[in-house]
Structure 1
Amino acid sequence: MALLTRTLMCFVIMTVLIELAAAATYIVGGTNGGWDASTNLQTWASSQKFLVGDTLNFQYSPSHNVLEVSKADYDSCQASNSIQAYSGGSTMIPLSSAGKRYFICGTMGHCSQGMKLEVDTSLATTSTPPPTASPAVNLAPQESPSSTLPPSSDTPLASSLAPDTSAASPSPVKAPELAFSPTPATIDAMSSTESPTSISRTGSSSEPSAAALLNNKDSLTLGFGVMMMLILAF
């Protein structure tokens, strides 16, 4: 709370100091004129810009005075109902509020001769410097440097990056062909080993030789004799 109070007091003091520094004191009628009937007071007032905090400095002779009056008394030069009356030859009147204020000389006939002043006071405005433009921030994403090396002339980039599919899909193995094509020599060898009773290529059977028939007959005789001996033995 104490810190807030001190801050407000500092702000008020700074405001007053700024107003005092910017305030101006105007000698009514200008340096070449004054509060008298010979000075064109209306032309002088219209060439000035009065602000809150400024001060009017009336310098006049003993035959004059300063009366602050209403708008109606100002227009009619009526001095009997003044808001404030000043005399003494030197009068300082601060302009503490915005708006119009009216002053006349209360000496008989002086107001109608031009000793009247209308002052329009405006609020003091402090000019603030334009805001400084902040530097533009580039929000675009920065491209990261490429981590891949440029492809060499010997190894193309496409072939180095392509996956090796040779191991994933093996080619089908063909079964060995069992076709048999006999040569003429094989045919002759096969024909030489055929039995006498085998069928020839022409489809006719070869007749048995005489030696083969005798051998078969002896075998039958021997077999018949052995069978008879076995029967007699039992």
Structure 2
Amino acid sequence: MASPSVTLVMLSTFLIITLVAVSVSSFQFQVGGDRGWTNETAEDYNKWAEQNRFHVGDILYFKYLNDSVLVVNYTDYKDCIVSNPMSKFEDGNTVLRIDRYGFFYFISGQPGHCNSGQKLVIRVMVQSAEVETPTVAPSPKENGGSGDDGWDSFNWGPPSLNSTIKLSVASYFLTILGGVLVIFYVFM
């Protein structure tokens, strides 16, 4: 059996590796950088977004005063329509965890702000471990000939506020567990 000091070292190592692995699995982005989500500057939020790579599990942090963040579909984003958001936030410190890949659209809910440029589209990158085998889409004729299958490629829905990072945390955990077992056998 291992001595208490070896066991303590192993447990401490396991805890540190676990904390590092979980913190590396996602990244928090403050939208707009230090300026935050504001209409007072000539910030181009889409240029800011182009300088970043977003992945499932990342966190978007909107910091603002006397404003709001609306999660909208593509049409509402393009036309600055504030009347029908999928989600609306007004707390000044909005934190959203990205739970899927694809496009997300955000606009300010304050009158005139979206039209003056306070809007953002981000593209969340597909992570290679999450890629599924593509399937062939049915032809419009198989669908009754209308070509309308009810799927709206621009209306993906809002990011979940309580989603989990299933695959990346699981793979980090298994890697850590393997490392701990190696350390355990080395010290034994």
User: Offset of 1:124 from its aligned partner?
Assistant: 3.0
Pair 1:19–1:72, CA change in 2 (3 A): farther
Q: Is the 8 A contact 1:20 1:53 kept in 2?
A: no
Listed as ranges, the matches of 1:48-87 within 5 Å are 48-62=52-66, 64-87=67-90
What corresponds to 1:36 in structure 2?
Answer: 38
Structure 1 residue 46, shift from structure 2 partner: 0.8
Letter in 1 for 2:60: L
In 1: Cα distance, 2:85 partner to 2:56 partner: 22
RMSD: 2.3
| RCO comparison, higher one (Cα < 8 Å, 6+) | 2
**Unaligned residue ranges in structure 2 (runs of 5+):** 1-19, 130-188
Residues 19 and 53, structure 1, Cα contact 8 Å, conserved in 2: no
Q: Which residues of 2 match residues 85-104 of structure 1 at below 5 A?
A: 85-104=88-107
Is residue 36–residue 64 contact of structure 2 (8 Å, CA) maintained in 1? Answer: yes
Answer with 1 or 2: which has the greater Rg.
1
Partner of 1:114: 117
Is 1:24 equivalent to 2:24 in the alignment? no
Tell me by how many angstroms 1:125 deviates. 4.2
The letter for the 1-side match of 2:49 is A
Of all paired residues, the percent bearing the same amino acid is 32
Residue deviations 1:113-160, cap 9 Å, x none?
Answer: 11100010013347xxxxxxxxxxxxxxxxxxxxxxxxxxxxxxxxxx
Aligned partner of residue 122 in structure 2, secondary structure: strand
Give 1 or 2: higher strand fraction.
Answer: 2
Structure 1: runs of 5+ lacking an equivalent: 1-16, 127-234
**Other structure's SS at 1:79 match:** coil
Relative to structure 1, the CA distance from residue 19 to residue 97 in structure 2 (aligned partners, 3 Å threshold; closer, same or farther) is farther
TM-score (norm 1): 0.44
* Count of equivalent residues: 111
Residue 114 of structure 2 aligns to a residue whose secondary structure is coil
Letter in 1 for 2:47: T
1:20, CA displacement in angstroms?
A: 4.8
In structure 2, what is the Cα distance between the partners aligned to 1:66 and 1:51? 20
The structure in which a higher percent of residues are helix is 2
Contact 1:54 1:94 in 2 (8 A): yes
Following TM superposition, the consecutive aligned residue runs of length 4 or more in structure 1 with deviations greater than 6 angstroms are none
SS in 2 for 1:112: coil
Question: Displacement of 1:40 after TM fit?
Answer: 1.6
Give 1:55's aligned amino acid.
Answer: I
User: Which one-letter code corresponds to 1:89 in the other structure?
Assistant: G
Q: 2:178 corresponds to which residue? A: none
Distance (whole Å) between structure 1 residues aligned to residue 51 and residue 87 of structure 2: 25
Alpha-carbon distance in 2 for matches of 1:87, 1:20: 27
Q: Aligned letter for 2:64?
A: Y
The TM-score with structure 2 as length reference comes to 0.55
Post-superposition offset of 1:44: 0.4
Label 1:20 to 1:96 Cα distance change in 2 as closer, same or farther (>3 A): farther
Counterpart of 2:49 (choices 39, 45, 49) is 45
Distance 2:94 2:105 in 1: 15
